[in-house]
């Protein structure tokens, strides 16, 4: 099964994704994509680790090039990629390029996620719905939001199920779920 989950911040996406991964059975991999930039990120990472404690997840850090995580993980496992948002950000604004925008890397990242979905047995992608407001942002932020919206549409197209989490409620836009 491939599943794409989107929704606003702190709406329960990760909790739902973890429960779905466990319900799918087998070996569980949490593909951690966030590169911490400070105390707030560190707190969020600690919270996510605590939330999945005892659930049987093996954490695989993968900040870019998602196919690389298959060098240490079994493709027949269940992969929870949390989050698409961070993975695209890491590719579009790489630290080693002093955060200069790299559109080619973002496009490669998108292509790799689609390839990953077709390679592994089960994958759950978690993404943040950050592109629907009417606020005007800087040019680079707008490009980032457009990149994320584009990959979200592509992943929704190739996934078996598409779920939106809004105020803790599930809205199934495509497919069915096993829980």
Q: Is the pLDDT of residue 178 over 80?
A: no
Q: What's this model's pTM, rounded to 2 decimal places?
A: 0.92
Percent of residues, the chain, with pLDDT higher than 90: 60
Least confident of 83-92, 118-127, 133-142: 133-142
Please compute the mean of the pLDDT values over residues 130-143 and round it to a whole number: 83
The answer to whether residues 55 and 14 touch, using CB atoms and an 8 Å cutoff, is: no
User: pLDDT of 86-112, one tens digit each?
Assistant: 999 999 988 887 788 888 888 899 899
- Give 3-state DSSP helix, strand, coil % of the chain, rounded to 5: 45, 20, 35
**Contact of 121 with 160, CB cutoff 8 Å:** no
3-18 pLDDT tens trace:
999 998 888 899 999 9
Write down all domains in the chain, each with its CATH number in brackets.
Answer: 14-162 (3.40.50.300)
Phi, psi of 4 (to 5 degrees): -115, 125
Residue 58: pLDDT over 80: yes
> Is the distance from CB of 64 to CB of 109 less than 8 angstroms?
yes
Confidence band, pLDDT 50/70/90 cuts, at residue 70: very high
DSSP of 163-176: EEEETTEEEEEES-
């Amino acid at each position: 099964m491939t599943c794409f989950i989107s929704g606003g911040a702190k709406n329960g996406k990760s909790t739902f994704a973890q429960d779905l991964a466990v319900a799918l059975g087998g070996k569980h991999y949490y593909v951690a994509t966030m590169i911490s930039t400070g105390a707030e990120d560190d707190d969020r990472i600690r919270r996510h680790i605590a939330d999945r404690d005892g659930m049987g997840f093996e954490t695989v850090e993968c900040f870019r090039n998602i196919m690389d995580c298959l060098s240490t993980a079994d493709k027949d496992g269940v992969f929870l990629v949390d989050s698409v948002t961070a993975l695209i950000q890491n590719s579009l604004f790489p630290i080693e390029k002093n955060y200069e925008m790299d559109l080619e890397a973002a496009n490669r990242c998108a292509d790799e996620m689609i390839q990953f979905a077709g390679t592994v047995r089960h994958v759950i992608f978690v993404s943040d719905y950050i592109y629907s407001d009417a606020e005007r942002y800087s040019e680079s932020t707008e490009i980032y939001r457009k990149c994320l919206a584009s990959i979200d549409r592509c992943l929704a197209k190739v996934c078996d199920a598409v779920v939106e989490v809004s105020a803790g409620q599930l809205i199934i836009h495509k497919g069915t779920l096993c829980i």
